[in-house]
């Protein structure tokens, strides 16, 4: 092993360690790995950032913009609203949702398709008075399976197409993936819809916001008597009276009801305050200011919401502004005008001091605020609302326009009239020019950490190939295979890539395994196509853990799942993908 190969292997091993550990975000880890190889003289400085102009990176970016345009136009909303009328049978719900999200994920970002349909799934579960757990994991797995079917279904497919372009001077086309990926996705969806969903444990029987957050246990009505220290104090001053976690979320004065009273609102004797917090905090406030318990449940319901103030659940998405930050750091009330009423993690309300608890991806937040301020806060903070929103006026016209632009781009790319990245870029630009989405929405729709990850890992993958590291690994795999035929190597490559994608980002797994696949094909003097397809399928089969893919992470909190729950459904789905994808790959892509 040469010094350069050793440097590449040590760098990749360190990167894998930090990918799995999660101490630093994956884009920073990838960038550090690239910089180490640059300083070590393995990646020329002039080539270090060429990845940002790589067609695969550009294609991923415009696919994300187009996904935002399709969501903004309401393409999936229309389907979701129709789905919300599908009765109450759980098997029907699972089958329809899993199929719909799989179809949508073949043509738009799978996390985007999941985000749109997740509120529909939760609405269906609560209407049927069941836990959302039986719907959300199938929904997440369906989004992964759907990505197997087309070139733009998932970033690994775009990456694999670029590797094929470099190896065989012709990239994979839009629907080349459907021959192996489509059959695998179909079998996976059928299993989940007919059998698999029954393997999911009912982690939480609560079927409403009130059940999940136990609002009645964490709110109290406090009367301001004549001799109270709260008289003539403002809401803000009262909110700072005791060092404890509580919030004043409603005020009643005679027949007047004020949901979420202004911070400058002065208090008067006879006022009734709706206070949110744990029992200790509410008791401390009452003792310090002389407030008295009123105990009027009807009044609580009137104060919690009003015509202008609403309560909404939202989930912490990957790369959200609130991720790894606490309430105290965000200052939600002063900056966005919303109250945080509760936080649920894996189906259980957190009972810690919320001001000091860092949020995690998948946490469910219960927010209260003015309707417009609440929507703006959810957008600015990068949260995903878990409530069905009605179609806006004029949306049907936008649906047809957005769908037409996207269809035209697909036809242009499939027909060979334009390269895929150019056709999709034209579609994204047209969506902005025709005001289907704004420039700000277009930029916000791009998952920048993914782009940095890809742009950094592409030179790292090239370095592994140029130094002979990929060939060294391929030779080791061939020696382990012994007298086994190349078809066995395709199966092994699929399994290894699958296991890797369950602990690191799937795009990174594709970048790392594709050069090894090419070297395996070269060593057996076989076609590279089946090996690349094995990497593509394996990189998208992250069904075993909640950290393998963002879709899995997003349903962790709302579904109330535990880490091991993913194995109960994920393991059989993974086995089905292995057993179906391998023969399909070898049948349609000859060695």
Give domain status of residue 507, yes or no: yes
Q: pLDDT-based confidence at 512, cuts 50/70/90?
A: confident
How much is the pLDDT for 392?
A: 44
The closest of 211, 19, 54 to 130, measured between CA atoms, is 211
The closest of 102, 156, 134 to 205, measured between CA atoms, is 134
Q: pLDDT-based confidence at 148, cuts 50/70/90?
A: very high
Mean local confidence (pLDDT), 71-86: 69
Regarding predicted confidence, which is higher, 550 or 497? Answer: 497
CATH of residue 215's domain is 3.30.70.1450
Give domain status of residue 350, yes or no: yes
Where helices occur in 22-109 by DSSP H, the ranges are: 26-39, 55-73, 75-83, 90-105
Q: pLDDT-based confidence at 341, cuts 50/70/90?
A: confident
* DSSP states along 514-532: HHHHHHHHHHTT--SHHHH
Give domain status of residue 14, yes or no: yes
Q: How far apart are CA 535 and CA 499, in angstroms?
A: 11
Give domain status of residue 132, yes or no: yes
Regarding predicted confidence, which is higher, 374 or 347? Answer: 374
Whole-model pTM: value is 0.80
Residue carrying structure tokens 């969903």: 197
Could you tell me if 286 and 374 lie in one domain?
no
**What three-state secondary structure class fits 249?**
strand
Tell me the residue range of the domain where 341 lies.
Answer: 309-385
Give domain status of residue 498, yes or no: yes
* DSSP states along 275-340: EEE-HHHHHHHHHHHT-EE---HHHHHHHH--SSEEEEEEEE-TT-TTBT--HHHH-HHHHH-EEE
CB neighbours of residue 535 within 10 Å: 32
Mean local confidence (pLDDT), 378-399: 67
Chain-centroid distance, C-alpha 439 = 22
Could you tell me if 451 and 574 lie in one domain?
yes
How much is the pLDDT for 299?
A: 66
pLDDT of 308 higher than 70: no
pLDDT of 494 higher than 60: yes
Domain boundary among 271, 304, 337: 304
pLDDT of 81 higher than 70: no
pLDDT of 381 higher than 80: yes
Is the Cβ–Cβ distance between 17 and 504 less than 8 Å? no
Could you tell me if 105 and 41 lie in one domain?
yes
Could you tell me if 314 and 249 lie in one domain?
no
pLDDT of 269 higher than 70: yes
Domains held by the chain: number? 3
Domain boundary among 364, 385, 406: 385
CB neighbours of residue 491 within 10 Å: 18
Could you tell me if 461 and 582 lie in one domain?
yes
Regarding predicted confidence, which is higher, 76 or 495? Answer: 495
Q: pLDDT-based confidence at 537, cuts 50/70/90?
A: very high
Could you tell me if 226 and 332 lie in one domain?
no
How much is the pLDDT for 372?
A: 78
**What three-state secondary structure class fits 244?**
coil
Instruction: Give just the sign of the alpha carbon dihedral 236, 242, 244, 247.
Output: negative
Is the Cβ–Cβ distance between 37 and 8 less than 8 Å? yes
Q: How far apart are CA 533 and CA 157, in angstroms?
A: 9
pLDDT digits (tens, 9 = 90+) for 100-125: 899 988 888 788 788 878 888 887 88
Give domain status of residue 189, yes or no: yes
Domain boundary among 261, 281, 304: 304
Q: How far apart are CA 360 and CA 383, in angstroms?
A: 12
* DSSP states along 126-159: HHTT--THHHHHHHHHHHHHHTTSSTTSSHHHHH
Question: What integer best gives the mean pLDDT of the chain?
Answer: 82
Mean local confidence (pLDDT), 492-497: 92
Give domain status of residue 297, yes or no: yes
Could you tell me if 43 and 160 lie in one domain?
yes
How much is the pLDDT for 393?
A: 40
Highest mean pLDDT among 206-215, 274-283, 355-364, 399-408: 399-408
How much is the pLDDT for 214?
A: 61
Could you tell me if 125 and 157 lie in one domain?
yes
Mean local confidence (pLDDT), 244-266: 79
Residue carrying structure tokens 């060979």: 416
How much is the pLDDT for 333?
A: 75
Q: Residues, the chain, total?
A: 591
Mean local confidence (pLDDT), 440-459: 85
Percent of the chain with pLDDT over 70: 88
Residue 176: C-alpha distances to residues 149, 347, 406, 485, 542 (Å): 8, 40, 19, 25, 21
Give domain status of residue 527, yes or no: yes
Regarding predicted confidence, which is higher, 392 or 386? Answer: 386
Highest mean pLDDT among 101-115, 186-200, 446-460: 186-200
Beta bridge partners of 256: 253
How much is the pLDDT for 204?
A: 60
Could you tell me if 21 and 42 lie in one domain?
yes
Q: How far apart are CA 156 and CA 87, in angstroms?
A: 37
How much is the pLDDT for 206?
A: 47
**What three-state secondary structure class fits 227?**
coil
How much is the pLDDT for 205?
A: 46
pLDDT of 508 higher than 90: no
Q: How far apart are CA 74 and CA 70, in angstroms?
A: 6
How much is the pLDDT for 263?
A: 80
Mean local confidence (pLDDT), 25-49: 88
Could you tell me if 188 and 250 lie in one domain?
no
Could you tell me if 118 and 164 lie in one domain?
yes
Regarding predicted confidence, which is higher, 349 or 565? Answer: 565
**What three-state secondary structure class fits 437?**
coil
Is the Cβ–Cβ distance between 513 and 477 less than 8 Å? no
pLDDT digits (tens, 9 = 90+) for 218-231: 677 888 888 888 78
Could you tell me if 81 and 163 lie in one domain?
yes
């Amino acid at each position: 092993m040469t010094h350069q190969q050793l440097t590449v292997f040590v760098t990749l091993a360190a990167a894998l360690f930090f990918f799995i550990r999660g101490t630093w975000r994956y884009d920073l880890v990838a960038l550090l790995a690239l910089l180490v190889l640059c300083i070590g003289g393995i990646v020329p400085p002039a080539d270090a950032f060429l990845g940002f102009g790589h067609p695969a990176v550009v294609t991923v970016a415009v696919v994300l913009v187009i996904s935002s345009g399709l969501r903004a136009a309401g393409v999936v909303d229309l389907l979701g609203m129709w789905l919300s009328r599908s009765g109450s049978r759980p098997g029907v719900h699972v089958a329809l949702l899993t199929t719909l999200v799989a179809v949508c994920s073949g043509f738009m970002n799978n996390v985007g398709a999941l985000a749109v349909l997740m509120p529909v799934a939760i609405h269906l579960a609560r209407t049927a008075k069941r836990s959302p757990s039986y719907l959300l994991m199938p929904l997440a797995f369906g989004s992964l399976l759907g990505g197997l079917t087309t070139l733009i279904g998932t970033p690994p497919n775009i990456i694999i197409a670029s590797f094929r372009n470099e190896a065989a001077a012709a990239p994979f086309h839009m629907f080349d993936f459907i021959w192996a990926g489509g059959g695998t996705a179909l079998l996976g969806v059928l299993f989940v819809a007919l059998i698999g969903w029954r393997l999911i444990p009912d982690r939480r029987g609560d079927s409403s916001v009130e059940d999940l957050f136990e609002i009645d246990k964490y709110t109290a009505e406090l009367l301001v008597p004549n001799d109270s220290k709260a008289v003539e104090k403002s809401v803000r001053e009262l909110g700072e009276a005791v060092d404890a976690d509580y919030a004043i979320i409603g005020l009643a004065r005679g027949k007047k009801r004020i949901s979420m009273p202004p911070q400058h609102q002065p208090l008067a004797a006879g006022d009734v305050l709706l206070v949110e917090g744990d029992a200790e905090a509410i008791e401390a406030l009452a003792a310090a200011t002389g407030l008295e318990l009123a105990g009027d449940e009807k009044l609580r319901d009137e104060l919690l919401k009003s015509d202008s103030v609403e309560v909404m659940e939202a989930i912490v998405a990957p790369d959200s502004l609130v991720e790894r930050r606490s309430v105290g750091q965000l200052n939600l009330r002063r900056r966005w005008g919303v109250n945080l009423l509760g936080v649920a993690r894996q189906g259980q309300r957190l009972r810690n001091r919320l001001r000091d608890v860092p949020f995690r991806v998948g946490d469910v937040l219960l927010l209260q605020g003015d309707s417009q301020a609440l929507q703006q806060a959810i957008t600015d903070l990068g949260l995903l609302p878990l409530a069905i929103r009605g179609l806006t006026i004029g949306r049907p016209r936008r649906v047809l326009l957005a769908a037409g632009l996207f269809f035209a781009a697909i036809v242009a790319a499939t027909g060979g009239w334009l390269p895929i990245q150019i056709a999709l870029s034209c579609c994204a630009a047209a969506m902005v020019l025709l005001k289907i989405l704004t420039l700000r929405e277009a930029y916000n729709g791009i998952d920048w950490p993914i782009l940095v990850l890809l742009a950094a890992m592409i030179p790292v993958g090239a370095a592994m190939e140029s130094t002979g590291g990929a060939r060294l690994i391929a030779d080791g795999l061939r020696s382990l295979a012994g007298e086994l035929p190349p078809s066995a190597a395709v199966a092994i490559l699929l399994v290894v890539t699958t296991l890797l994608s369950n602990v690191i980002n799937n795009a990174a797994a594709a970048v790392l395994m594709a050069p090894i696949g090419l070297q395996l094909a070269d060593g057996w003097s076989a076609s590279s196509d089946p090996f690349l397809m094995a990497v593509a399928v394996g990189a998208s089969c992250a069904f075993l853990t909640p950290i393998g893919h963002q879709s899995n992470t997003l349903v962790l909190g709302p579904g109330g799942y535990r880490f091991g729950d993913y194995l109960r459904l994920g393991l059989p789905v993974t086995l089905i993908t292995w057993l179906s994808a391998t023969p399909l790959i070898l049948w349609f892509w000859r060695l």
